[in-house]
Homo-oligomer: A and B are copies of this chain.
Amino acid sequence: MTTPTHLPYSGIATFARAPIGQPDGDWRATFAVLGIPFDIALGFRPGARFAPRALREASLRYVPPFSDLNGKVWLDPASGSDPLFVDAGDVMLPSLEPELARKRITAAARQVKARCRLPVFLGGDHSVSFPLLRAFHDIPELHVVQLDAHLDFTDVRNDTKYSNSSPFRRACEALPNLVHITTIGLRGLRHDPEAAQAARARGHTLIAMEDVAGRVEKIVAALPAYRNVYLSIDADAFDPAVLPGTSSPEPDGFSYALAMQLIRGLVRRHSILAIDLVELAPNLDQTGRSELLAARLIMETLSEVHDAGH
């Protein structure tokens, strides 16, 4: 890789200026990044295919180590024996063939997961969470925590079972070890009652956005401690004022601070196995602040994970 620089617009954009590693290559890392530029499963405004590259670029504003005004340091690349980050590039996707795409996503996610402490998956639309979760079929008692305006637990929508409305329904069918989903940030006018009922029948926790503020600790504590958590962050969980670059924005979502408060709580009480960040559409926000916020969210989350040390 070329010599690192501090100017975010300079240099070949790997995530946080990490070295590149093939998904099946000979490397180890604390954190590894895998892009999934797949957005043909959404039903409104496309553009999530551009997110992995936009997140790589935005990450260059947030290259570790970090420190606060008192000199405390986080995510120090010099602190571990493995590299802190490896950028595993993007899954090599086919055009148009959704089933083949899902297979390749699962395969690449498995490879990356095997090489790091915690993989960070950069979508793509939310449909990719299903094939990503399949790479975690071997985790006993897998929990999903999902920040999202929408439940994404619909059985069939627009004649398909694999759109970005259905990833967690499919995952629950395919993964017996996926024992519980907590969805936080729900809002909007068009909930799918069958999906909500099916989720509740499985014991899932559904939390409306209006019930989050002031109740973060209670929400975090509702999961038994030290669970294995796959954290799925939909960009539309955020308020469109702070993150306008997403296909299906809904008013009155998370602020950055509230999302971090929630994530911080999760990280401290549970074991985060993997993170996906989906539905970011950089082409819909010409101010660039959407990907900057998402990149910072990933970095600050990983700082907390690193700090928590479990």
Cβ of A286 within 8 Å of any chain B Cβ, yes or no, is yes
- Does chain B have a CB within 8 A of A121? no
> Does the CB pair B210–A257 fall under 8 Å?
yes
Copies of this chain per assembly = 6
Are A285 and B284 interface neighbours, CB within 8 A? no
Roughly how many angstroms separate A83 CA and B56 CA in the complex, as a whole number? Answer: 26
How far, in whole Å, are A176 and B303 apart by their CA atoms in the complex? 40
Residue A193 is within 8 A (CB to CB) of chain B in the complex: yes
Asked if A185 is at the interface (CB within 8 A of a chain B CB), the reply is: no
Contacting A90 at CB < 8 Å: which of B11, B50, B57? B11
Are B186 and A69 within 8 A (Cβ)? Answer: yes
The distance from the CB of A16 to the nearest CB of chain B, in whole angstroms, is 12
Q: Flag whether A13 is at the interface (Cβ < 8 A).
A: yes
Judge whether A155 is part of the interface by a CB distance below 8 angstroms: no
Known: A249-B289, A256-B252, A292-B249. Contact between A160 and B9, CB under 8 A? Answer: no
Q: A148 in the interface, Cβ–Cβ < 8 Å? A: no
* Shortest distance between the CB of A210 and any CB in chain B (Å): 7
Which positions in A face B, CB cutoff 8 Å? 1-14, 20, 22-23, 35, 37, 39-47, 49-50, 52-53, 56-57, 61-62, 66-71, 73-74, 87-90, 92-98, 100, 127, 151, 157-160, 162-163, 186, 189-193, 196-197, 206, 208, 210, 239-242, 244-245, 248-252, 255-257, 283-289, 292-293, 296, 299-300, 303
